[in-house]
Amino acid sequence: MRSIQIVRYGVTILIATALVATDRVPLSAQGIGGALKKRAEEAKKKLEDEAAKKAAADSAKKKADSTKTGTAPAPSAAPMAGASSATPTSTTASAKADPKIWENYDFIPGNKVLFYTDFSEDRVGNFARGLRFVSGTMDVVERDGVKMLRATAPSHLLIPVGRKLPQRFTLEIDVISPPEGTAGFDLVAVEGGPERDGGAESAILQWNVHAAIDGGGQDQRSAVYLSEEQAAKYHGRVSHIRILMDSGYFKMYANERRLYNIPRLPFKRDTVIRMYLRGSDEQDHAVFVTGVRVAESETDVMYDALAARGRWATHGILFATGKADLQPESRAVLKEIASTLKQHTELKVLIEGHTDNVGAAASNLALSEARAAAVKAALVADFGVDGSRVSTKGFGDTKPAAPNTTAAGRAQNRRVEIVKQ
């Protein structure tokens, strides 16, 4: 097991998002029809039983606490999508931490991949072939068993999108933030277009244990600083930087924290995104990027997609490596599913789990079954969904949405789909 904890959908390192199987199930490929089905059903039932027991235990504890304090217990179901309060996700290990830190986390990743790399297909010592080199000193290295791009000097590169950026898109960059005491304004900076502009119609977005914006028609530089306690969670660790653009609306997140929520911020739409890395060859001053993803956010909502096509795919439900433990970043998508089911009481759905083809087919199938069951368990236990309206099924790698020949294709195949019944 690799030692860096990276929670990112579409990434096969450490945390394989959506539905990537990395554990090996001791089951031969022969005789899958009977033995595998039994294994998947057992895994599914075990997860649902554990979720139910955990929910019951949590409820009992809340009641006991309320008796001691004289206060009423919190409701077991989360509010509809868009509400600010949050409740624990009982099926996740991550929920052991205070779930309120995720109450403003409403990022939903784009569902149509325009660019993706996790550097897994690159050769150590070379520049990442999916990106375009402009200047500086950059190479792919392996750190703690994970391939990543390292910059040891101030460096520029271009992320090729393949076409002009759409009005609605998401950009995700995972970067290892520097140790304490090495912060600057622009460890990582991104801007639309091939050259630095920073003018009225070209915002430059920056991160280095705090966030900043240059240009974009602002009167002055806009910066968001974290307290020492908050910043300590980022120093020397992976920071998951997520950017959402909806026409002019702009949101930016670092891990669970929403840093910006701006109704109007220009970001130049171009066929490339310029990225700047403030690297140095001094000790602890190199910049490490572990993955990049750009995706279009298609406009149809879940219910519209079900009505038009009968199914809706999402890459925003995340799991721990080789397990069915939901990550807290999944809350935004789970809330959307729950909201749709509550608004349309006649709707019944099937939750499908899908993987790429990495690993044994038997392992992928069993794990996809267990993860689909975990999604249902969370919807029932934490969001008050009627379990009789939700069924589950895992398909492993048998129904790819894209060829498994590239990292981008495999990222597209790791998904959860909601199917109208």
Segment 144-155 mean pLDDT = 94
Strand locations in 279-355, DSSP E?
287-296, 311-314, 349-354
Is residue 206 scored above 80 in pLDDT?
yes
pLDDT of 84 reads: 26
**pLDDT 10s digits, 323-366:** 888 888 888 889 889 989 999 999 999 999 999 898 899 999 99
Distance CA 350, CA 141 (A): 42
pLDDT of 5 reads: 44
Distance CA 341, CA 386 (A): 9
N- to C-terminal Cα separation, the chain: 39
Q: How confident is the model at residue 406 (pLDDT cuts 50, 70, 90)?
A: confident
| Coil/strand/helix, residue 279 | coil
Distance CA 123, CA 140 (A): 7
Distance CA 187, CA 287 (A): 7
The percent of the chain in helix, strand and coil, each rounded to the nearest 5, is 25, 30, 45
| Predicted TM-score (pTM) of this structure | 0.71
Is residue 43 scored above 60 in pLDDT?
no
Q: Report the percentage of the chain scoring pLDDT > 70.
A: 74
Return all residues near 165 (Cβ < 8 A) that are at least 6 apart.
114, 192, 267, 269, 270, 271, 273, 294
Distance CA 272, CA 72 (A): 53
**pLDDT 10s digits, 218-245:** 777 788 988 888 888 888 889 999 999 9
The domains found in the chain, sorted by start residue, are 28-106+300-420 (3.30.1330.60), 112-296 (2.60.120.560)
**pLDDT 10s digits, 99-149:** 566 766 888 888 888 999 999 999 999 999 999 999 999 999 999 899 999
Segment 141-162 mean pLDDT = 95
Return all residues near 138 (Cβ < 8 A) that are at least 6 apart.
127, 128, 149, 150, 151, 152, 155, 157, 277, 279
Mean residue pLDDT across the chain: 78
pLDDT of 268 reads: 94
| Coil/strand/helix, residue 35 | helix
Distance CA 93, CA 321 (A): 12
Is residue 30 scored above 80 in pLDDT?
no
From 307, 305, 266, select the one nearest 167 (Cα to Cα). 266
pLDDT of 73 reads: 31
From 83, 81, 80, 102, select the one nearest 92 (Cα to Cα). 102
Q: How confident is the model at residue 47 (pLDDT cuts 50, 70, 90)?
A: low
**Exposure string over 210-229, b if 16+ CB within 10 A, otherwise e:** bbbbbbbeeeeebeeebeee
pLDDT of 256 reads: 85
- Alpha carbon 174 to its chain centroid, in Å, reads 10
Could you tell me the two tokens for 69?
């304090």
- Alpha carbon 142 to its chain centroid, in Å, reads 22
Cβ contact 349:420 at 8 Å = yes
- Alpha carbon 49 to its chain centroid, in Å, reads 26
Q: Read off the amino acid at residue 41.
A: E
| Coil/strand/helix, residue 122 | coil
Segment 367-387 mean pLDDT = 93
pLDDT of 327 reads: 86
